[in-house]
Amino acid sequence: MYKEITPNGYGIAIETEEKPLYSAQSEFQKVEILSSKGLGNILTLDGLMMTTVEDEFFYHEMISHIPLCSHPCPERVLVIGGGDGGTVREVLRHKTVKSVELCEIDGLVIEASRKFLPSIAGKLDDERVSIYVEDAIEYIKDKKACYDVVLIDSTDPMGPGEGLFTEEFYTNVKNSLKEGGIIVAQSESPFANPKEMRMMYRLLNKVFKHVKPYAGPIPTYPGGYWSWAFCSETVDTPVIQDTQRAKEIEKKSKLYNTDLHEGVFKVPNFVRNIAQDV
């Protein structure tokens, strides 16, 4: 049985095979693949749930299609973290996209995902993808005005992901955007991690002109509910820019549709309050 319990004393439980399919200590963290009947293979880092084969679509569709459909023509995209490949897979479904860079600090995450999560990682070999096994904090420093969309698909603000939750990092990411560019960052659970989420939005609001939270369910994250921050210097209200492309994405999505695109920004009061530091 895999269990992940937050400091508040609740969380998720999943029946898994006793022996992991894969377990290795990288330079940064413990990388494990567990096998479950109900949710397929599972990736954990330092014992924390990253993704499962059966419910990964919630997270990966939310982090990718909302920003990409809010951009009139996303051509060059950077994914920070996201070594399982799920976000890259969804980004590639947008026909406008000419290149995707994946900057993941831990090569073992990519290796384990390629081997044990092929339905998630399978598009990492696409010719439009370049993989950089590097620290994004360094990688982003000399990138100026080159991306249409940057997706921060990071772990939590502790361990190897910690440096991705700083004002300096967000400023560098902002400077890496082309005119009209969009950043989306995973922004923790409004219910299970409200303190971490509040801290993060305080920083984002300092750096970006427009910061909008959006939210949705993730069955296998503790609290079952997650948020993402939509950040931009130019896009105040994130609406669909290319209806035809959005409709194409909708056709083959489990989650995304053009109504949902509007709906995810209509968040509960307590989520608004966290994001606005009320």
Annotated catalytic residues are: 153
**Nearest of 87, 91, 97 to residue 50 by alpha carbon:** 87
Under rule CB under 8 A, residue 255 binds a copy of itself: yes
- Please select the residue that binds a copy of itself; options are 29, 36, 64, 187, rule is CB under 8 A: 36
Residue type, 29: Q
Stretch that binds a copy of itself, among 99-107, 175-183, 198-206, 262-270 (CB under 8 A): 262-270
Q: What is the largest CA-CA distance in the chain?
A: 50
> CB count, 10 Å around CB of 128?
15
Q: Give how far Cα 234 sits from Cα of 143, 166, 255, Å.
A: 19, 22, 27
- Please select the residue that binds a copy of itself; options are 134, 270, 276, 277, rule is CB under 8 A: 270
Closer residue to a copy of itself, CB minimum distance, 122 or 217: 217
Under rule CB under 8 A, residue 269 binds a copy of itself: yes
Backbone angles phi, psi at 230, to 5 degrees: -100, 115
- Please select the residue that binds a copy of itself; options are 55, 84, 104, 106, rule is CB under 8 A: 55
Which residues ranging from 207 to 226 are in contact with a copy of itself (CB under 8 A)? 215-221, 223-225
Closer residue to a copy of itself, CB minimum distance, 74 or 216: 216
Minimum distance of a copy of itself from residue 260's CB (angstroms): 5
Closer residue to a copy of itself, CB minimum distance, 41 or 220: 220
Minimum distance of a copy of itself from residue 65's CB (angstroms): 11
- Please select the residue that binds a copy of itself; options are 141, 266, 276, 277, rule is CB under 8 A: 266
The DSSP line for 60-103 is HHHHHHHHHHTSS---EEEEEE-TTSHHHHHHTTSTT--EEEEE
CA–CA distance, 152 with 155 (Å, rounded to integer): 9
CA–CA distance, 147 with 94 (Å, rounded to integer): 15
CA–CA distance, 18 with 69 (Å, rounded to integer): 41
Footprint of a copy of itself (CB under 8 A): 3, 5-6, 8-15, 36-39, 55, 191-192, 215-221, 223-225, 250, 253-257, 259-260, 262-270, 272
